[in-house]
Amino acid sequence: MMQLQRPQAPQSLKENYKKWGREYEQKLENPKANNDFSWKGKYQEISDLLFEITKNHCCFCDIHPLKASGATVEHFRPKSKYPKLSYFWGNLFYCCTNCQKKGDNFPLDYKLLKPDQLSFLFEHYFIYNFSTGIIKPNTARTFNEQKRAENTIDLYGLNKYGRPEARILERKKFFSANNPNINDYSFRFILE
């Protein structure tokens, strides 16, 4: 996970997110309605903007190039439980299909870490094991922070899907390249 510096919301979201969120909430409350989610024709614009600011990396696992492996826009707080936030810019993250398996899960007790928090820093919350490729919560932090890091690892499967092995390989590739550009690699949080 890398810190995400989010620019202003697209104008259409800024103007309509409350109204569209209320509409979606009403759809969910009406069992007879077809409550399929619609992006109101804004998916491409949102996805292109997120592509640009993440440099085509997944906001959670940081895999790259994301578009090649199936990019999607994730509702951080699931739209089934937080319909009012379904078009809220701060709730939308560029995400890979594995991280999206988080689905409707959203822990209420210790929550999840959010990469666009101003204070978010990988090394604050996590410890990376260079020989196993595994990520663990940083035990130097408060109980609350460790729980949030643990929930984030579990729900996004940060140690699943062959990711620890892939992280070890990516570091090797990066450190043996001549003058590499960090944005061309996955897992930038362990490459510095």
Contact assessment for residue 6 and residue 89, using Cβ atoms and an 8 Å cutoff: yes
Q: Which stretch binds Zn ion (CB under 5 A): 59-67, 77-85, 115-123, 147-155?
A: 59-67
How many residues lie near Zn ion (CB under 5 A)?
5
- Distance (Å, rounded) from C-alpha 114 to C-alpha 147? 13
Among 13, 46, 49, 58, interactor with Zn ion by CB under 5 A: 58
Q: Does 149 bind Zn ion (CB under 5 A)?
A: no
CA-nearest of 108, 17, 92 to 60 is 92
Looking at the DSSP bridge assignments, the partners of residue 58 are none
C-beta of 107 vs 157, nearer to Zn ion: 157
Among 46, 50, 61, 149, interactor with Zn ion by CB under 5 A: 61
C-beta of 1 vs 46, nearer to Zn ion: 1
> Minimal distance in Å, beta carbon 99 to Zn ion?
3
> Minimal distance in Å, beta carbon 60 to Zn ion?
5
Q: Does 96 bind Zn ion (CB under 5 A)?
A: yes
Among 20, 60, 126, 185, interactor with Zn ion by CB under 5 A: 60
C-beta of 16 vs 78, nearer to Zn ion: 78
44's enclosing H/E stretch is: helix 43-54
Among 2, 46, 99, 149, interactor with Zn ion by CB under 5 A: 99
User: Is the peptide bond between 164 and the residue preceding it cis, with omega within 30 degrees of 0?
Assistant: no
Contact assessment for residue 151 and residue 111, using Cβ atoms and an 8 Å cutoff: yes
C-beta of 60 vs 174, nearer to Zn ion: 60
Distances (CA, A) of 78 to 32, 107, 175: 21, 11, 38
CA-nearest of 2, 8, 80, 1 to 37 is 80
- Distance (Å, rounded) from C-alpha 110 to C-alpha 32? 35
- Residues binding Zn ion (CB under 5 A): 58, 60-61, 96, 99
